[in-house]
Chains A and B, each alone.
Chain A
Amino acid sequence: MTGAPAIDVQGLTKRFGAKTVVDGFSIQVTRGQIHGFLGPNGSGKTTTIRMLCGLLVPDAGTGTCLGHDIVRESWAIKRQVGYMTQKFSLYEDLTIGENLDFVARLYALPDRKAQVKAALDRLGLAHRRDQLAGTLSGGWKQRLALAACILHGPKLLLLDEPTAGVDPKARREFWDEIHALAAEGMTVLVSTHYMDEAERCHRIAYLAYGKLLTVGSVPEVIAGAGLHSLAAEGEELGPVRRDLEGKPGVSMVAPFGSRLHVSGPDPVLLAQAVDPWRDQPGLRWQAVEPSLEDVFIHLMHQSRDNFAPGTATGGTA
């Protein structure tokens, strides 16, 4: 059984009214891995996660989660999966301890008190045990939510943007904890908008407009995009940017402070586009490895052209 993937789904599709939110999504997630799930807002990440844990019934597609059919055996899946919702969804008018007690009782955990205490200790919540959840800051709420979803010892964690709105230190501690859990054999599927978090995953999948665009390890994804990048460094980047945008061979121009990333799929066309600016005084050009962010923005632009004219979202993948 250990060789079988934790998640193995084919062709998952979900429609809300006339809108297809997830379209033919297929993925295999190996046990014990941390799998990142990226994509702009509204790309279907949350809907996909909800289908995996039985909160939504797919309109088409089949698959298994921990060996259980996602449509017919959602009850068995719920017992073995920990799901952390995007929005804090524990009870704000209960204390940390009461929330965890409630969850422990729902899962009918044997030796409830010891389990709750262990979870409190593990996430450093013990001294705040009697504090109302509603009065916690974002970082502590996130720890509580994680404690609640690992309480019953799930084999698979589904985390939906767990670190949104959390400060960098708390994010780092959170990710250390995720790695510790994975080391203990837990499989983790985590959606995120942060590139640094994506780079901490064993594998990543990129979703846009309901379709899975790419999947693999970070180097694989970057290589697979077939993107070439040039970076310009200098003071007056505005005119350069305006000129290059939309030029043949340039698929993306993105400013990063005093740097400008120019990317395109064809290195020759890209070089031709940039040539007029090569010898501009005060500008230094160099070839760079495209970043994950370059790749994602490139993929997003491509997919927008392909599937969804006019439904651009404010995603900063």
Chain B
Amino acid sequence: MSGDRFSPTRLLAMVVKEFIQMKRDRLTFAMMVGIPIIQLMLFGFAINSDPKHLPTAILSLDQGPFSRSVVAGLQNSAYYRVEWVAETRAEVDAMLDRGVVQFVLTIPAGFGRDLVRGDRPVLLLEADAADPAATGNAVGALNNIVRDSLRHDLTGPLAELAQSQPPVDLRIHRRYNPEGLTQYNIVPGLVGTILTMTMIIMTALAVTRERERGTMENLLAMPVRPLEVMVGKLAPFILVGAVQVTIIIGAARLLFGVPMLGSPVALVVGLLFFITANLAVGFLFSTLARNQLQAMQMSFFFFLPSILMSGFMFPFRGMPQWAQTIGEALPLTHFLRIVRGVMLKGNGLPDAWPNLWPLVLFLLVVSTIAVNRYRQTLD
């Protein structure tokens, strides 16, 4: 009997059917084509694990020609971009704490005089080493940059200073993460990525499930307002998110010894807005997706750039400007800065504010769209 054998005709029937279904499911098809392209663009053009042109502040207590040479040398180097020249210690501390600059170079008073005397003055480079990967190469290059920039000045009788041991005593101070532990950077960041993943997927599915199972029709026929549905759907997940955060931060302390230096209030406020922002994204997806598979796909579309472009996996400042602009629009980017700032840098609410308001703005925009997209009818 031919029915017992492998039949090419039946195989063809299956293959043709699969192709037809694939063609009908546009979103899946778009993902199959889109994901490789997006990955290629991100990894090829955006992601760079050797960040350059890092924002740097100079605390210059010496105005002489030698210190100007050092600053010029930094400016001309590929790794540093001098953006601020500060006058006081307090200014540069705040800039580091808020992540405005990656480095602060302190040129001590009498730098030029001590250099000429051969006293090897101390040049202090403070690095925001919360993400060790972001600073490593720049710090490594500093010695040569300083020596090269002084070479032109150290001529004639001073030439021997340039020859022998380094003319300056270069000290590196790795702030926030002196031992360069990757866990210090990754574990707080995990709070953000895990929340992004679970919150968006859970809510995107929760509403889509109502539509797929047909319970939406009943819900719409009853007197309940869209905002009541939305908030009612999201509230339980805020609790779920709180449990997740407690687990991760507890484990961060107990297992990895990650410190918690800053204000818990700032962290809680940041978390609240971050969780709600993600829930709003999930709710928006659920108003767009026709079924649960599509909701999953949309969540994945959002999650991918979130982990790659937020500074979680790769240094944010390593990305070109266009990619940083996209990154700034992602809630995870801002939350990472808040959670790292609070846990590692001892940030309080005022320090967190520059990254809080973008979260609030994001939340407002997305939830407005979501509530408007939510139909009170079946039209």
Q: A residues near B, CB below 8 A?
A: 50, 53-57, 75, 78-79, 81, 83, 85, 87-92, 103, 106-107, 148
With the chains together, A91 CA to B216 CA distance in Å?
10
Give B67-81 as 1s and 0s: 1 = Cβ < 8 Å from A's Cβ atoms: 000000000000000
Chain B 202-226 residues near chain A, CB threshold 8 A: 213-218, 220-224
Select A89's contact among B218, B223, B224, B377, beta carbons within 8 Å.
B218
Do B217 and A92 touch across chains, with their CB atoms under 8 A apart?
A: no
Q: Which residue of B lies closest to A54 (CB)?
A: B377
| A-chain residues with CB within 8 Å of residue B379 when the two chains form the complex | 56-57
Chain B 209-247, CB-CB to A under 8 Å as 1, else 0, gives 000011111101111100000000000000000000000
Q: How far is the CB of B208 from chain A (nearest CB, A)?
A: 15
Does B378 belong to the interface (CB within 8 Å)? yes
The answer to whether B218 and A85 have CB atoms under 8 Å apart is yes
Interface positions, chain B 331-379, Cβ under 8 Å from A, are: 377-379
Size of interface on B: residues with Cβ below 8 Å to A: 14
A139 shortest CB reach to chain B, Å: 19
Pair B223/A55 contact, Cβ less than 8 Å: no
Within the complex, which residue of A83, A90, A106 is in contact with B224, where a contact is CB–CB below 8 Å?
A106
The smallest C-beta distance from A213 to any residue of chain B, in angstroms, reads 25
8 Å CB contacts to A: which residues of B28-80?
none
Is the Cβ of B221 less than 8 Å from the Cβ of A106?
no
Contact B222 A107 (CB under 8 A): yes
CA–CA, A106 and B220, complex, Å = 11
Q: Is the CB of A91 within 8 A of B377?
A: no
Contact (Cβ within 8 A) B222 A78:
yes
Q: How far is the CA of A107 from the CA of B217 in the complex (A)?
A: 16
Min Cβ gap B275→A in Å is: 25
Contacts of B215 in A (CB 8 A): 89-91
The reply to whether A55 and B221 contact each other, CB–CB distance below 8 Å, is yes
Q: Which residues of B contact A106 (CB under 8 A)?
A: 222-224
Distance of A148 Cα from B224 Cα, bound (Å) = 15
Contact of A53 among B214, B221, B224 (CB under 8 A): B221
Q: B145-185 CB contact bits vs A (8 Å, 1 = yes)?
A: 00000000000000000000000000000000000000000
Which chain B residue lies CB-closest to A53? B221
* Chain A residues with CB below 8 A from B220, complex form: 55
Q: Which residues of B contact A87 (CB under 8 A)?
A: 214, 217
**Could you tell me the distance in whole angstroms from the C-beta of A143 to the nearest C-beta in chain B?**
15
Contacting pair A55 B378 (CB below 8 A)? yes
Nearest A residue (CB) for B216 = A89
Instruction: Say whether chain A's binding surface is mostly helix, strand, loop, or mixed.
Output: loop
A89 to B212, alpha carbons, bound, how many Å? 10
Q: Which residues of B contact A (CB under 8 A)?
A: 213-218, 220-224, 377-379
Q: Which residues of A contact B216 (CB under 8 A)?
A: 89
Least CB distance from B333 to A in Å reads 37
Decide: A56 near B223, CB < 8 A? Known: A90-B215, A92-B213.
no
* Nearest CB on A from B164, distance (A): 79
Does the CB pair A85–B221 fall under 8 Å?
yes
> With A92-B213, A107-B223 as given contacts, are A56 and B218 in contact (CB-CB < 8 Å)?
no
CA distance A92 to B213 in the complex (A): 9
User: B residues within 8 A CB of A55?
Assistant: 217, 220-221, 377-378
Are B214 and A88 in touch, CB under 8 angstroms?
A: yes
Q: Which residues of chain B are near A107, meaning CB under 8 Å? A: 222-223
Are the C-beta atoms of B222 and A103 separated by less than 8 Å?
A: yes
User: 7 shortest A-B CB distances, which residue pairs?
Assistant: A89-B218, A83-B221, A78-B223, A87-B214, A89-B214, A79-B223, A55-B378
Query: How many whole Å from A12's CB to the nearest CB in chain B?
Result: 14
Give the chain B neighbours of A90 by CB distance below 8 A: 215, 218
Q: Is the CB of B221 within 8 A of A78?
A: yes
Say yes or no: A89 contacts B222, CB within 8 Å.
no
A57–B220 alpha-carbon span in the complex (Å): 13
B126 → A minimal CB distance (Å): 56
Give Cα A106 to B215, complex, Å.
Answer: 14
- Nearest-neighbour CB distance to chain B for A77, whole angstroms, equals 9
Q: How far is it, in angstroms, between the C-alpha of A191 and the C-alpha of B217 when the chains are bound?
A: 17
A-B contact pairs, 17 of them (CB 8 A): A54-B221, A55-B217, A56-B377, A78-B221, A79-B223, A83-B221, A85-B214, A85-B217, A85-B221, A87-B214, A88-B214, A89-B213, A89-B215, A89-B216, A90-B215, A106-B223, A107-B223
What are the residues of chain B within 8 A of A75 when measuring CB–CB? 223
Select which of A50, A81, A103, A148 is within 8 A of B378 by beta carbon: A50
A50 to B218, CA, bound (A): 11
Residue of chain A at shortest CB distance from B228? A106
Give the residues in chain B near A91, CB-CB below 8 Å: 215
Q: What is the CA–CA distance of A87 and B221 in the complex, to the nearest angstrom?
A: 14
How many Å from the CB of A73 to the closest CB on chain B? 12
Nearest Cβ on chain A to B87's Cβ, whole angstroms: 63
A53, A55, A103, A148 — most chain B CB neighbours (10 Å): A55
- In the complex, which residues of chain A have a beta carbon less than 8 angstroms from the beta carbon of B224? 106
- Using Cβ atoms and an 8 Å threshold, which residues of chain B touch A83? 218, 221
User: How far in angstroms is the closest Cβ of chain B from A136?
Assistant: 15
Distance from A14 Cβ to chain B, minimum over Cβ atoms (Å): 9
A50→B376 CA distance, assembly (Å): 12
Chain B residue numbers with a CB within 8 Å of A54 are 221, 377
How far in angstroms is the closest Cβ of chain B from A190?
16
Contact B217 A56 (CB under 8 A): no
Chain A residue nearest to B215 in the complex (CB): A89
B236–chain A nearest beta-carbon distance, Å: 14
Query: CA–CA, A196 to B70, complex, Å?
Result: 98
Chain B min CB distance to A278 (Å) = 53
Instruction: Write out the residue numbers on chain B whose beta carbons fall within 8 Å of the beta carbon of A57.
Output: 377, 379
**A50 CA to B216 CA in the complex, in Å?**
13
